[in-house]
Amino acid sequence: MIRGIIVKQLTKAARLRGPGNVAGVLRAAAALAPQITIKHNYSSKAQPKLTSELYPSVKRNPNYKKLANEDIQFFQSILTENEILQANDKEDLAFYNEDWMRKYRGQSKIVLKPKSVEKISQILKYCNEQKIAVVPQGGNTGLVGGSVPVFDEVVLSVSNLNEIRNFDPVSGILKCDAGVILENADNFLAEHGYIFPLDLGAKGSCHVGGVVACNAGGLRLLRYGSLHGSVLGLEVVLPNGDILNSMHSLRKDNTGYDLKQLFIGSEGTIGIITGVSILTPPRPKAFNVSFLAVNSYEDVQKVFVKAKKELLEILSAFEFMDDKSQQLTKHHLAGVPHPFEESYPFYILIETSGSNKDHDDEKLEKFLESAMEDGLVVDGVVAQDETELRNLWQWRELIPESSQCQGGVYKYDVSLPLKHLYSLVEAANARLSEAALLGDAPKPVIQAVGYGHVGDGNLHLNVAVREYNKQVEKALEPFVYEFVSSKNGSISAEHGLGFQKKNYIGYTKNPQEIKMIKDLKTHFDPNGILNPYKYI
Amino acid sequence: MIRGIIVKQLTKAARLRGPGNVAGVLRAAAALAPQITIKHNYSSKAQPKLTSELYPSVKRNPNYKKLANEDIQFFQSILTENEILQANDKEDLAFYNEDWMRKYRGQSKIVLKPKSVEKISQILKYCNEQKIAVVPQGGNTGLVGGSVPVFDEVVLSVSNLNEIRNFDPVSGILKCDAGVILENADNFLAEHGYIFPLDLGAKGSCHVGGVVACNAGGLRLLRYGSLHGSVLGLEVVLPNGDILNSMHSLRKDNTGYDLKQLFIGSEGTIGIITGVSILTPPRPKAFNVSFLAVNSYEDVQKVFVKAKKELLEILSAFEFMDDKSQQLTKHHLAGVPHPFEESYPFYILIETSGSNKDHDDEKLEKFLESAMEDGLVVDGVVAQDETELRNLWQWRELIPESSQCQGGVYKYDVSLPLKHLYSLVEAANARLSEAALLGDAPKPVIQAVGYGHVGDGNLHLNVAVREYNKQVEKALEPFVYEFVSSKNGSISAEHGLGFQKKNYIGYTKNPQEIKMIKDLKTHFDPNGILNPYKYI
């Protein structure tokens, strides 16, 4: 256990208090692993404009057939009533047409929710022959408008494919339907002493299949690596309706090109993932979380290098937050006390996880002592129990929601070499100030804040706004992408391309890469029926 | 440190002795990580027959142009004298025509060793236009005949591309040429406190690019995962000569299909890897190795599950060996004492690595005590210093060489669900006995032995023979593949398909997968000039 003397050294003025007033956001979890669920919360926000109105330069592709009665009859011939939703007086299909951020709104009049892979196969075969455009949809928690229609595409939701298929407690290999909610999968694994090798804020809504289709990164990537390493097999319905059954459960298999890799991160453009086989690690028995204050981004980097070397095998998250992000979160969590009474320029959240609490405590303690002696860490707290641990995590995990709650947020999720990571936030604020867009109301921008997974070189730049506004968008794009490109970063670290970033891929990928990506799209989906107007 | 009382408990009769007499095999390493290098050793073995004679049903594809003077003149126009080797009275190019196992022999008359990526690009562009078949070659340590010509293909070796390009000590990202020898890369990393996330016996000869092209698994996969997770970028020359510069150094990048994944494990059939960008982890400070005796394969599995849960974050290798493999190795290392005087049915080698030796010792000690109390482990030794650690590893690492040294070896590298892993070895011995092929000389088969990476579900079945023999091959193939297929395993866990397994992919992959793999081959290499007669 963390000993009293160290806690005293670390906490100085600030001590963690009780569970606070964040009801409805934090919930009891199946195990110690921090789990925070962000819920859809449409009610308080205005319905977005139609995407077609907001982006008049994007035109409906006339090659796609407009849905006719005969098509609906075909769908009705293979699906039951419960598997089809049609727009009518009572139902505008808003949930399926609008993205979680309420930035995009499509006009689909029909949502198909097949209960079997074979039905999905029949639907895609038909749509491919008839040239009917289709948007695959999982939990619809994507952040780049990739999972909602742009015009009248048919929405094909996998939410009715939601069974755990198989779990082997010796190897830790889980096989499940694509529509299983991530949190449900993780709770199931917890019962068997295993953990899903990925965690993210939307886990209560997002689907395992969607997570794979978007190659989500999330909070455990530092420890468990990317899905390209942990996914062992996929079942995918191809655009022509063929079913690729590649649900292997082998950790090693060098027989041919690794087909599944192409679908990881393909955002539903070349196939619909219907099943996932994934290697899951044993659930750690001990978790520690410490929340640290540092004086500069320079010091954030130094603490990271030090943590990587000294905490090595037990380091499972290294997140940083700027003070501006904490101010927004304090505002959102009105009354909930922050770990520190004073403000500091930057904060770091370090999570360790391992098999022996005493060993982990000792390592963390030694590391923190040394980091304070070096003057890198100026204040810090260590969670003493599960409640405190969750409370510390909320100050990182609720930033997205806090950035959005005063009107809206422009989110940029970029990869940058570590040394340049924070300079983008400074540059964005400078630019918005110069353009007289940032400040008190009625100026549209509240603040650009930065936080993210330092361990993965992944910055989240959130521009909190009072309303979505073309001027702000113009000030930010392509400015942000140009900045990232100039530092050889990626304009999408983990959120994907979707609708939002389709036209900006050239800031990260070169013409040869783009050509090859386009050629593969055509190779797999010659009629282009899957998730059009997006990705590439 | 491991305390005396425990060592006593564990070692019983057997104690580890000095470094033994394995000169020339073990060598001083740059750091504590166990490193054993297997050297090419042609001299003692007969030159293999020509592949074309051994496999008369495989015909040279007449669509490929036979090399003419004009072609050689073209190569000479872009390459210097040192970059071209031609067969003549003194030079038969045996090193490039024969595989390490001496099972295959091609008839190439020319080896190109360009010193730049641009030259490789020019060569492939020319060969593609002229329809000249090309075999890409790295360190030529492959085990399935994938890196040598079958007929008269031009050998294109990347061995002259052998520079470290860049290393970032903050992120741990290494960029290097494909022809850098794996051991050199690891030694370089050791100087900076990092480690190559893959290790294998051939590390003194194999190339980083070859390792990626073959998606090698090796000894550290249990800890660091597969190359699909750790490779961040590649530079590849495509069959038409185009250079795909995808040398990204970002841990996260979700902008388009992950092109590099297709080349990882493509065995030189759709492009020649010329550069690799890879994420490397900090080098552990502490290594422990224990060598355990167990009574049954059932107990091997139980010890594995226990180790995975109790050693969790510090477990870095879990290897098993049957007694027959140890008998062969004892014969090969004549006079070197085995860790145990008595024989046991199975042995396990467990390696841990971490940041704190005391913690690791304590975890290992507790685990071993408990495993002995449970009756799972019947005897065991723990290395007390680096020399002992290396000596223990040799009993696992020298099995391949020991299997081969009495004449030859048929190697099968398969993935199987853990419960079926060892049954293949028993089935193979039974079959060879029934066919009256196994026994004392002059019977061709000495023994089928089993060992491998339990942690990865990866069995190496080695059939040690006094000579290569068609009857033995017929008894083993497709028997082994059928067995693996019946258990939903993979006929190639880590060695790849190459020439040996080209016709057997159907035992692991289904027709839809095979069709997609073939389509991708055609998509990337419509003239089929790269590494023909192999893979698919």
Query: What is the per-residue pLDDT across A104-115, written as a single tens digit (0 to 9) for each?
Result: 999 999 999 999
Sign of the C-alpha dihedral, residues A439, A445, A447, A448? negative
Phi, psi of A329 (to 5 degrees): -70, -40
Q: Do B313 and A313 touch (CB under 8 A)?
A: yes
- In chain A, the residue whose alpha carbon lies closest to the alpha carbon of B524 is A516
Residues in a beta bridge with B105: B98
**What is the average per-residue pLDDT within B412-425?**
94
For residues A242 and A271, what is the distance between their CA atoms, to the nearest angstrom? 10
- A-interface mutation test, from B200, B211, B246, B254, most A Cβ less than 10 A away: B254
Tell me if A258 and B228 make a contact (CB, 8 A cut-off): yes
Please answer yes or no on whether A251 and B457 come within 8 Å at the CB atom. Answer: yes
Contact B490 A415 (CB under 8 A): no
CB of A151 within 8 A of CB of A172?
no
Q: Residues A118, A259: one domain?
A: yes
Pair B379, B432 in one domain: no
Average pLDDT over residues A333-358: 96
How many residues in chain B?
A: 536
User: How open is the CA angle A337-A338-A343, to the nearest 5 degrees?
Assistant: 130
Q: What is the pLDDT of residues A404-438, one digit of tens each?
A: 899 999 999 999 998 899 999 999 999 999 999 99
Q: Tokens at residue A32, please?
A: 């110690």
- At B414, which CATH number? 3.30.70.2740
A22 and A90 in one domain? Answer: no
Residue A360's domain spans which residues? 4-30+284-399
Nearest residue on chain A to B417, judged by CA atoms? A250
Neighboring chain A residues of B491 at a CB cutoff of 8 Å: 255
Q: How far is A307 from chain B (nearest CA, A)?
A: 11
Which positions in chain A touch B311 (Cβ < 8 Å)? Answer: 355
| C-alpha distances out from residue B176 to B165, B274, B282, Å | 5, 9, 18
- A176-180, A530-534, B21-25: segment of lowest average pLDDT: B21-25
ipTM exceeds 0.85: yes
The predicted pLDDT at position B44 comes to: 52
Query: Cβ contacts of residue B198 below 8 Å, gap of 6+?
Result: B182, B211, B216, B217, B218, B219, B220, B221, B224, B227, B230
Residues A196 and A310 in one domain: no
| Strand pairing category for A315-322 and A445-453 | antiparallel
Same domain membership, residue B428 and residue B343: no
pLDDT at B444 over 50: yes
A:B CB pairs within 8 Å: 262
Closest approach of A461 to chain B, Cα-based (Å): 15
**CATH number assigned to the domain comprising residue B334:** 3.30.70.2190
Kindly state whether A282 is in contact with chain B, defined as any CB-CB distance less than 8 angstroms. Answer: yes
pLDDT digits (tens, 9 = 90+) for B477-526: 999 999 999 999 999 999 999 999 999 999 999 999 999 999 999 999 99
**Residue B455, pLDDT score:** 83
Task: Judge: B508–A270 Cβ closer than 8 Å, yes or no.
Answer: no
Assess whether pLDDT exceeds 70 at residue A42. Answer: no
The whole-number average pLDDT for the span A138-158 is: 97
Range with the lowest mean pLDDT among A373-382, B2-11, B54-63, B409-418?
B2-11
How many whole angstroms separate alpha carbon A322 and alpha carbon B59?
A: 66
Report chain A residues whose CB lies below 8 A from the CB of B225.
225, 229-230
DSSP labels, B213-275: HTT---SSHHHH--HHHHEEEEEEE-TTS-EEEE----S---SS--THHHHTT-TTSS-EEEE
Contacts of A505 in chain B (CB under 8 A): 255-256
**Minimal Cα distance from A458: which residue of B?**
B252
Work out the minimum CA distance from B311 to partner chain A, whole angstroms: 7
Start-end of H helices in B453-527: 470-476, 479-486, 511-524
By C-alpha distance, the chain B residue nearest A315 is B313
Q: Print burial letters for A123-145: b (CB count within 10 Å at least 16), e (below 16).
A: bbbbbbebebbbbbbbbbbbbbb
Cβ atoms of A531 and A268 within 8 Å: the answer is yes
Residues B448 and B492 in one domain: yes
Nearest-Cα distance to chain A for B18, in Å, is: 31
Q: Which of A217, A248, A254 sits opposite B496 (nearest CB)?
A: A254
Rg of the Cα atoms in chain A? 23
Percent pLDDT > 90 in chain A is: 84
pLDDT at A218: 83
A306 in contact with B, Cβ within 8 Å:
no
HSE of B13 in the Cβ direction (CA atoms, 13 Å)? 10
Which residue from A minimizes the CA distance to B315? Answer: A313
Question: Which whole number is the average pLDDT over A143-172?
Answer: 96
A163 and A237 belong to one structural domain: yes
* A506 near B CB under 8 A: no
CATH number of the domain encompassing residue A163: 3.30.465.10
Which 225-264 residues of chain B touch chain A by CB within 8 A?
Answer: 225-226, 228-230, 242-246, 248-259, 261-262, 264
CA distance B113 to chain A (A): 25
CB contact under 8 A, B254 and A494: yes
pLDDT of residue B154: 98
Check residue A491 and give its pLDDT.
96
Residue B13: CB atoms within 10 A of its CB come to 8
Distances (CA, A) of B359 to A151, A457, B385, B405: 59, 30, 17, 41
Which residues of chain A have a CB within 8 Å of the CB of B489?
A: 250
**Domain end among B319, B354, B386:** B386
Whether residue B252 and residue A490 make contact (CB cut-off 8 A), yes or no, is yes
B297 and B331 fall within a common domain? yes
Which residues from chain B sit within 8 angstroms of residue A309, using beta carbons? 193, 282, 355
Disruptive mutation site among A170, A255, A304, A525 for chain B (greatest number of B CBs within 10 Å): A255
Asked whether residue B20 carries a pLDDT value surpassing 50, the answer given is: no
Average pLDDT, chain B: 91
pLDDT at B37 over 70: no
Contact B313 A488 (CB under 8 A): no
Is the pLDDT score of A519 beyond 60? yes
- Name the residue among A402, A405, A383, A380 with its Cα closest to residue A392: A383
Give the distance from residue A320's alpha carbon to the nearest chain B alpha carbon, in angstroms. 16
- Please judge whether A252 and B490 are an interchain contact, meaning their C-beta atoms are less than 8 angstroms apart: yes
Q: What is the mean pLDDT of residues B337-350?
A: 97
In this complex, do B492 and A254 lie within 8 Å of one another by their Cβ atoms? Answer: yes
Which of B11-25, B327-341, B370-384, B402-416 is predicted least confidently?
B11-25
Counts for chain A of helices (H) and strands (E), in that order: 19, 16
Question: CB distance B313–A354 less than 8 Å?
Answer: yes
- B536–A456 C-beta distance less than 8 A: no
The beta-carbon neighbor of A254 closest among B244, B246, B495 is: B495
Residue B517 distance to chain A (closest CA, Å): 6
Q: Which residues pair with B276 in a beta bridge?
A: B176, B234
| Measured CA angle at B442 (ends B440, B447), to 5 deg | 45
pLDDT in tens, A349-358: 999 999 999 9
Establish if B481 belongs to a structural domain.
yes
Model pLDDT, residue A44: 52
> How far are the Cα atoms of A178, A347, A384 from residue A162, in angstroms, in the given order?
7, 39, 37
List all residues 6 or more positions away from A529 whose beta carbon is below 8 Å from its beta carbon: A64, A124, A127, A128, A131, A132, A133, A134, A239
User: Hey, is B351 helix, strand or coil?
Assistant: strand
- Count of structural domains within chain A: 3
The answer to whether residue B475 sits within a structural domain is: yes
Q: In whole angstroms, how large is the CA radius of gyration of chain B?
A: 23
- B194 CB neighbours in chain A (<8 A) are none
Residue with tokens 């073995």: B45
**Does residue B314 carry a pLDDT above 90?**
yes
- How large is the average pLDDT for residues B381-392? 95
Of A253, A304, A419, the CB nearest to B493: A253
pLDDT tops 60 at residue A87: yes
Give the pLDDT score at B91: 81
Q: Tokens standing for A491?
A: 């304009």
Residues B454 and B496 in one domain: yes
| Same domain for A41 and A18 | no
Q: Does B24 touch chain A (CB under 8 A)?
A: no
pLDDT on residue B179: 98
Please provide residue A461's backbone torsions phi and psi, each rounded to the nearest 5 degrees.
Answer: -100, 115
B298's enclosing H/E stretch is helix B297-311
Structure token digits, residue B351: 């390696």
Of A305, A359, A497, the CB nearest to B255: A497
B308 touches chain A (CB under 8 A): yes
**Touching A: B residues 167-186, CB under 8 Å:** 168-172
pLDDT at A19: 28
A251, A269, A305, A358: best to mutate for the B interface, most B CBs within 10 A: A251
- Residue contact B254–A419, C-beta within 8 A: no
SS3 B450: strand
Is B135's pLDDT higher than 60? Answer: yes
How does residue B18 score in pLDDT terms, banded at 50, 70 and 90? very low
Last residue of a domain, one of A359, A378, A399: A399
Angle at A324 between CA A320 and CA A328, to 5 degrees: 105
Among the candidates B335, B356, B386, a domain finishes at B386
Average pLDDT (B441-467) is 95
Q: Report the pLDDT averaged over residues A387-401.
A: 94
Q: Which residues partner with A293 through β-bridges?
A: A347, A379
CA distance B40 to B27: 15
Tell me which residues of chain A, numbers 359 to 418, contact chain B at a CB-CB cutoff of 8 Å. Answer: 359, 362-363, 415, 417-418
Supply the pLDDT for residue A25.
Answer: 24
A264: chain B residues, CB-CB within 8 Å: 258, 261
Q: Is the bond preceding residue A282 a cis peptide, omega within 30 degrees?
A: no
Same domain? For B372 and B417 the reply is: no
8 A C-beta contact, residue B181 and residue B204: yes
Q: Which residues on chain B are in Cβ contact (under 8 Å) with A363?
A: 355-356, 359
Residues of chain B contacting residue A496, judged by C-beta atoms under 8 Å apart: 254
Each residue of A297-315: pLDDT tens digit?
Answer: 999 999 999 999 999 999 9
Whether residue B82 is predicted with pLDDT greater than 80 in this model: the reply is yes
Chain B residue numbers touching A317 (CB-CB < 8 A): none
Residues B305 and B370 in one domain: yes
Higher pLDDT, B243 or B23: B243
